[in-house]
Each structure stands twice: as C-alpha cells, then as structure tokens.
Amino acid sequence: MGDPRRPRRTYSKPRSPWRSDQLAQELYLLGSYGLRNKRELWKAQSQLSSIRKQARQLLAASEIVRTREEGKLLDSLFRKGLLSTGMILDDVLSLSVEDMLSRRLQTVIYKRGSAVSPAQARQLIVHRHVKIGDRVVSVPGYHVTADDEKHILLTGGIGVPKAPEPRQEAAPAAAPEPPQAQGQGQ
C-alpha cells in the first residue's frame, strides 16, 4: 500500500530537461497560464498522457471491450469539460496540454474576466475569495468540471480593478484662421 507519509509523485519529469525548444515551450506555458513552477505543468502533461494512453488501448482493444469502455471514457472527459458532445475516441488523441491547463480554476477565472492576469486569479484563489457553489476552493490547480463552471463566484466584496482606459491624445487645437482683411484692394 505504501507509506501514507510519503505520497507517490503524480507527475513524471521530461527525459531530456535541457533541450532548448522544450525549455522555451515550458516557459511560454508557465507564463501564459500563470503556473507557479514546472511541476504543475508536468502534472497536467502526466494526466493528459494517461488519458491518451487509455484511448490508445481502447483503439487496439477488441470490439466488445471497446464499445463497453469507450462510452465511459468519453462521458468522463465530457463531464470534465475536455470534450464536447458528439466527439469520438480519435478526438481524445488530439487533446493537448493547453486543453488540460485551460480547465484549471486559475485559468477559468482569468478567462472569464474576473481577474486581470493569471497571477491575480491565483491570488484570489489562494486568499480564499473564490467559491464553487457553497464551497470555498483555495487550490489554483483545481480541475473545474463543466457543471462547476456555472457556479464559480467571487466572495468578500472583491471586485476586479478596472483596467485603465487607454489615453487618447488630445488633438492639437486648430490654429485660428487669420482674419481676412476687409477692404484691401478697394
């Protein structure tokens, strides 16, 4: 069973962590989704990997097993908000890590416009200003299901500060036209 004081890792590190293209991609994802460290990214990649592995195993399985298990997998991914209705098993293989990261509570709050940046969304969650239904959630990596998304609200009178409106440069005042001389030439 394992020692409860030493929980098992829920992610796997990349095989070659120092490839420049991989580092650039990871840095881009960390910044755009407001992740704290690469471990959060690796967890999402590991979850996606296990989902894709299930789909590959079902594609290779016999027809009887596939028909029985395919509906379960597609329904669970639909409830999680990763797939829409009418998707097939091949669509599971086209999921990306961005799809997984976009279902995190931090990203959902930012995309809704409840926060001006992913960092502010994370701060609102950690400071316990976010409720899902009647339950306070303080985990930025909480996976928001399709049903939960409707019940997210900010508590404690927290309002999102308005972004400063872009300044419009004042048009230079038009120089008055010179007065026309009356009676010149007569």
Within the chain, all domains assigned CATH 3.10.290.10 are found at 104-159
Residues of the chain above pLDDT 90, percent: 75
pLDDT at position 161: 54
Q: Alpha-carbon distance 163 to 113, whole Å? A: 11
Residues of the chain above pLDDT 70, percent: 83
The confidence band for 123, taking pLDDT boundaries of 50, 70 and 90, is very high
pLDDT tens track for 13-27: 999 999 999 999 999
| 166 pLDDT higher than 60 | no
| 146 pLDDT higher than 60 | yes
Distances (CA, A) of 49 to 11, 93, 130, 170: 10, 10, 29, 55
Measured between its terminal Cα atoms, the distance across the chain in Å is 113
Please state the rounded mean pLDDT for residues 78-96: 93
The angle at the Cα of 94, spanning 142 to 140, to the nearest 5 degrees, equals 10
Q: Alpha-carbon distance 90 to 93, whole Å? A: 5
CATH class label, 104-159: alpha beta
pTM over 0.85: no
Please state the rounded mean pLDDT for residues 74-90: 92
Max intra-chain CA distance, the chain: 113
